[in-house]
Structure 1
Amino acid sequence: MDALSDCRVPVIAGLTASGKSALAMDMADRFGGEIINADAMQVYRGFDIGTAKPTQKEQSDVPHHLIDIRDARETYSVAHYVKDAVAAIRAVLEKDRIPIVCGGTGQYTTALLNGTRFWPLQIPASIEQEVDHMIAEYGFTGLLEHIKSLDPATAAKLSIRDEKRIRRFFQVFNATGMTRTEMNDWSNQGKPQFQYRPLCLVPEQHVLTAQIEARTRAMYSAGLVAETKGLLEQFGDPALIPFSGIGYRHTVSYLQGQISDRDMLDLTIRDTRRLAKRQRTWYRHHDHGPMAGSLNEAKSAYLSLMET
């Protein structure tokens, strides 16, 4: 640990459309901060309106990090995020400014708060070839039987149809000597690298519903259909990860003539509400600090948190 590990780092989590970004901007202005994105879709370049990405003016007023860092054809895992976020936090602290982590991807903020450890991201090509030879010799049925003897807990969650997971099990096992269960135990033994100060924004249901509907309508008014059309023309493959985002999924269906514009709007609102419900469940089971029901409540709570 070093001197920076004692620095306080605000983490603003919460439900979609709850006002996290507005709170982060207010805090950045108040404390002299820079914002570290924690939204899995905002890392993708060009996907702006449908991800509620901060505007160019907002990014000009307050420096933002981990936005527009991936092409739509690239993957971005929790392990990638934690590595990049820790580096960004450290860089901001070294400038004597306050890094403010903000976003609703619970897996990202949970891993950051818990100090979850990850094995190096890239499996060597030699290991991949080794596992390919094992598959050719024993088949997935034989390898699944082997997992049962190595790691019964993981085997109980697998079936012969889980070829990708069986392959990954042996790639990790051959590279590290650890089973999936042992790897999970090792990952969870990490410690947070900074003194995080988390807060979770969770408005009342009726308030959030109104905010979701208003934001969704604003996205379409701002040109979400045209943005999606341009991205489809650029990348040509609606199966790419960022097109699965709620703001784009039904817009793609509309552009392909599968649904009406009314259905596009209604389905986007419906799925955003469902996402918020899943997020509520996540935050109930993964501690993200005090829960605030409004922006004013959140601002007051953060002033107290930053003083402790």
Structure 2
Amino acid sequence: MIRSVGGVRMCCLRLPYTAETLLLKPSALTFRRRRPFATSCSASAAAKKDKNEKVIVVSGPTGAGKSRLALELAKRLNGEIISADSVQVYQGLDVGSAKPTLSERQEVPHHLIDILHPSEEYSVGQFFEDARQATRDILKAGHVPIVTGGTGLYLRWFIYGKPDVPKASPEITSEVYLELAELQRNDEWEAAVQLVIKSGDPSAQFLAANDWYRLRRRLEIIKSSGSPPSAFQVPYDHFREQSDSHTAECSLGIKSSADGIQGCKSKDLDYEFICFFLSSQRLDLYRSIDFRCEDMLSGADGILSEARWLLDLGLLPNTNSATRAIGYRQAMEYLLKCREQGGWSSTSDFYAFLSEFQKASRNFAKRQMTWFRNEHIYHWINASRPLETVLSFICDAYHQQAGNLTVPESLTMKKDISNTREASELKVYRTKNRQFIRREDCSDILDWIRRTQGQPAESIC
């Protein structure tokens, strides 16, 4: 079932898993090839190939409409989409990740979707390898790579490259696993962090709690190289240092620092990246996110059903990449509480969960905007502008010769809060639900919890 929330397309799919396939892990990733699509953008088929092949990147905060924009771009530019979403890689996590529908994936080839079982980890380094390989395959087929998603670190490494950190040998991987295994079994996170700090990586203290995968990886790097991860140069940092040194000489004749940095240094990258960040006024974005969270809870196959599936697999919230994801973590914690209460939930418990889900989603969008505000290669586009206008501008930008790109004022989205009125309204922002307002509005969900999470209770209050 497909819904539209504030211009954002939502997908609610049935989980395509049976009891026999719950624990099945994909062994290989296959990239599908399809016949070229017709393009409605004016471009000569015999146009001279640029020195660097072009790659379009479309990002934005959750709920901004970037997936819809990328899909329409792919139709017009004979493109294929590479997902840069850290949750869409997982099978079965469809609703909470706003995964493209099956029909959309049949219409336009998508890559890096449904490639892992939720019990598996997926690193930014693996994404870099997979996404770059997909890019090469798409270009080789004569199509346009369109990378879309909101996972900032994925996109940063994809564009600038990954650090040259040594890969651990099987022996070191096994040694590290055994060294931390008992601490993980006993839930002694702080003790494990101190072990890694004493081994030579003081920055381990800043890891998110219970991020055992990244903690193990840090210890592997230390044992493999004798140095912590921070000792290895990050290509993005090197690029920024070079860009800063050129800012003065590039500043004449440009319209913004973003254009200057992009124009001065994009030639140093592996591809000609044309990057856009789609966003809207913060208040409008927050309302859209709140409505979107409500939609994800509607119907029998919503995010609660997917969270139940994760729990039935034996996974616990906040223990790996899939269960740390916004929405899934809150839903799993809520269902665990319901199970502890014999499959019972009060309306106040449900509304507390919904409020936490919405708040976490808004905070995530805020963090995304803060992250990309410092990514100067992106051109900020106002998501409230007509889709056709935005599509035409990006198509023209793709077909024009290499050089600085200027976004028209009518399409530009300001990176910061533009006026005091908006700032004041944000301070007093309160969620106004559209579907879940009264006590009886959540009765279907509470009934579902009674049926699936424990023995029926005599009453619900």
Is the TM value for this pair above 0.5?
yes
In structure 1, what residue type is equivalent to 2:373?
R
Report whether the alignment pairs 1:305 with 2:397: yes
When residues 123 and 174 of structure 1 are mapped into structure 2, their CA distance, relative to the original with a 3 A threshold, is: same
Report whether the alignment pairs 1:276 with 2:361: no
Q: Which residue of 2 aligns with 1:28?
A: 74
Q: Counterparts of 2:178 and 2:96 in 1: how far apart (Å)?
A: 43
What's the offset of the Cα at 1:73?
1.3
When residues 35 and 233 of structure 1 are mapped into structure 2, their CA distance, relative to the original with a 3 A threshold, is: same
Retained in 2: the 8 A contact 1:5–1:193? no
What's the offset of the Cα at 1:214?
2.2
Report whether the alignment pairs 1:211 with 2:260: no
Q: Counterparts of 1:9 and 1:22 in 2: how far apart (Å)?
A: 18
Moved more, 226-235 or 126-135: 126-135
When residues 276 and 95 of structure 1 are mapped into structure 2, their CA distance, relative to the original with a 3 A threshold, is: same
SS in 2 for 1:291: strand
When residues 183 and 4 of structure 1 are mapped into structure 2, their CA distance, relative to the original with a 3 A threshold, is: farther
Q: Which residue of 2 aligns with 1:150?
A: none
Match of 1:192 among 269, 272, 275: 269
What's the offset of the Cα at 1:143?
8.6
Q: Counterparts of 1:45 and 1:82 in 2: how far apart (Å)?
A: 20
Larger RCO: 1 or 2 (CA < 8 Å, sep 6+): 1
SS in 1 for 2:378: coil
**In proportion to residue count, which structure has more helix?**
1
SS in 2 for 1:246: coil
Q: Counterparts of 1:181 and 1:218 in 2: how far apart (Å)?
A: 42
Q: Counterparts of 2:226 and 2:235 in 1: how far apart (Å)?
A: 12
What's the offset of the Cα at 1:175?
2.6
Q: Counterparts of 1:255 and 1:143 in 2: how far apart (Å)?
A: 34
Report whether the alignment pairs 1:123 with 2:202: no
Report whether the alignment pairs 1:267 with 2:356: yes
Q: Which residue of 1 aligns with 2:334?
A: 254
Q: Which residue of 2 aligns with 1:75?
A: 121
When residues 141 and 86 of structure 1 are mapped into structure 2, their CA distance, relative to the original with a 3 A threshold, is: closer
Retained in 1: the 8 A contact 2:83–2:111? yes
Q: Counterparts of 2:155 and 2:281 in 1: how far apart (Å)?
A: 22
Report whether the alignment pairs 1:104 with 2:196: no
When residues 166 and 26 of structure 1 are mapped into structure 2, their CA distance, relative to the original with a 3 A threshold, is: closer
Q: Counterparts of 2:194 and 2:120 in 1: how far apart (Å)?
A: 31
In structure 2, what residue type is equivalent to 1:302?
I
Task: Give the RMSD, CA atoms, in angstroms.
Answer: 3.4
Match of 1:182 among 212, 223, 231: 231
Q: Counterparts of 1:177 and 1:115 in 2: how far apart (Å)?
A: 23
In structure 2, what residue type is equivalent to 1:261?
F
SS in 1 for 2:233: helix
Counting only pairs closer than 5 Å after superposition, residues 115-194 of structure 1 correspond to structure 2 as: 115-120=161-166, 122-128=167-173, 147=200, 155=202, 157=203, 171-176=220-225, 179-185=228-234, 192-194=269-271
Retained in 2: the 8 A contact 1:33–1:100? yes
Retained in 2: the 8 A contact 1:117–1:189? no
What's the offset of the Cα at 1:133?
11
SS in 2 for 1:75: coil
In structure 2, what residue type is equivalent to 1:17?
G
When residues 185 and 215 of structure 1 are mapped into structure 2, their CA distance, relative to the original with a 3 A threshold, is: closer
**TM-score (normalised: structure 2):** 0.56
Retained in 1: the 8 A contact 2:59–2:278? yes
SS in 2 for 1:9: strand
When residues 54 and 186 of structure 1 are mapped into structure 2, their CA distance, relative to the original with a 3 A threshold, is: closer
Match of 2:62 among 16, 41, 48: 16
Q: Counterparts of 2:135 and 2:152 in 1: how far apart (Å)?
A: 18
Q: Counterparts of 2:103 and 2:68 in 1: how far apart (Å)?
A: 13
Q: Which residue of 1 aligns with 2:90?
A: 44
What's the offset of the Cα at 1:235?
3.9
What's the offset of the Cα at 1:64?
0.5
What's the offset of the Cα at 1:131?
7.4
Moved more, 291-300 or 53-62: 291-300
What's the offset of the Cα at 1:236?
4.3
Match of 2:101 among 55, 58, 77: 55
When residues 205 and 130 of structure 1 are mapped into structure 2, their CA distance, relative to the original with a 3 A threshold, is: closer
When residues 4 and 144 of structure 1 are mapped into structure 2, their CA distance, relative to the original with a 3 A threshold, is: same
Retained in 2: the 8 A contact 1:37–1:65? yes
What's the offset of the Cα at 1:227?
2.5
Q: Which residue of 2 aligns with 1:7?
A: 53
Retained in 2: the 8 A contact 1:200–1:290? yes
Identity of aligned pairs, percent?
Answer: 30
In structure 1, what residue type is equivalent to 2:293?
T
When residues 129 and 76 of structure 1 are mapped into structure 2, their CA distance, relative to the original with a 3 A threshold, is: closer
SS in 1 for 2:58: strand
- Structure of higher CA gyration radius: 2
What's the offset of the Cα at 1:170?
6.0
